[in-house]
Amino acid sequence: MVSFIELNPIDLGRCSLMYPYGPTVGDSVNPKSDDGTSPEISISVPFTFYGRPYKSLYVNNNGVVSFGVNVSQYTPDPFPLDGGTPFVAPYWADVNNVLGGNVYWRQTQDQQTLSRCTADINQYFPEIPFTAIWAFVATWDRVAYFGTASKKVNTFQAVLTTDATISFIILNYANIEWTTGIASGGNAKTGLGGIPAQAGFDSGDKKNYYNIPGSRTPDILYIRDTTNVQFPGRWVFQVDDFVIGVTTEKSDCLL
């Protein structure tokens, strides 16, 4: 296992994986509310997630971007889910932004952001012609866990992008220091134990889903050291119809 060392060169490199976020780039911010959510966000370009185009989404404080309904559940379940709610989970756990941190989001057709999405996807999927026309960036910035008695915080991000036909998600991890809130059995002083965070995505059809290795185990604390695209701290998936070139076996790229 690799322990956290603040602001070493590797950590700075991981921070560079994050897309710009916060007030300076015009992000909206979720209310300070335990288990809270954004309002329903109408999106200007439908995002196709496993064959179904969605025209709105929610950014949920507990580390989930969901389609159709908001998600207030704080203890993660393993994928596939029984409830049928499709969502992307960069880090599904019991976040409490009242105790620390902010949850930011924006949809954008800013050319700089779209060019970055295009370049990233072309690098990781050179066999798929792709030029982004829309992106959605959701960022959990230095968020605390429910019942925290420590200064531990997590920073992670989900980027959704599409060319109106093909859709991708990019999951970025800058800093992960805790896995569990106390209502999920975690320790107030460490943020560890109990039922740890879940990461990946679930289409809601019980067929198309992905659990990032380490999900709901203590190893999820080290997700920033893992990848499926040879860049620790980043996971990328095509999600419009089926995952091309990504299986459970091939994605177990623990660095």
- DSSP letters, 108-171, are E--HHHHHHHHHHHHHH-TTS----SEEEEEEEEEE-BTT--S---EEEEEEEEESSS-EEEEE
Q: Which residues touch 230 (CB under 8 Å, ≥6 apart)?
A: 253
Model pLDDT, residue 241: 85
Where are the alpha helices (H) located in the chain, listed in sequence order?
Answer: 9-17, 111-124, 248-251
Model pLDDT, residue 15: 58
Longest Cα separation, the chain: 48
Contacts 24+ apart (CB under 8 A), 27-31: 27/104, 27/105, 27/106, 27/137, 27/139, 28/104, 28/105, 28/106, 29/102, 29/103, 29/104, 29/105, 30/59, 30/61, 30/97, 30/102, 30/103, 30/104, 30/105
Q: Considering the entire predicted model, what is its pTM?
A: 0.90
Q: Which residues touch 225 (CB under 8 Å, ≥6 apart)?
A: 2, 232, 233, 254, 255
pLDDT tens across the length of the chain (255 residues): 332 223 333 343 455 899 999 999 999 999 999 999 999 999 999 999 999 999 999 999 999 999 999 999 999 999 999 877 999 999 999 999 999 999 999 999 999 999 999 999 999 999 999 999 999 999 999 999 999 999 999 999 999 999 999 999 999 999 999 999 999 999 999 999 999 999 999 999 888 999 999 999 999 999 999 999 999 999 999 999 865 444 433 343 333
Q: What SS3 class is residue 222?
A: helix
Tokens of 97: 């932004």
Model pLDDT, residue 157: 98
Model pLDDT, residue 116: 98
87 backbone dihedrals φ, ψ, rounded to 5°:
-160, 165
Q: How many residues does the chain have?
A: 255
222 backbone dihedrals φ, ψ, rounded to 5°:
-105, 25
- Minimal CA–CA distance to 91: which of 57, 49, 136, 140? 140
Tokens of 131: 């030029």
Tokens of 190: 């460490």
Q: What SS3 class is residue 103?
A: strand
Decide if 112 contacts 84 (C-beta within 8 A).
no
Model pLDDT, residue 42: 98
Decide if 92 contacts 133 (C-beta within 8 A).
no
- Minimal CA–CA distance to 20: which of 162, 117, 151? 117
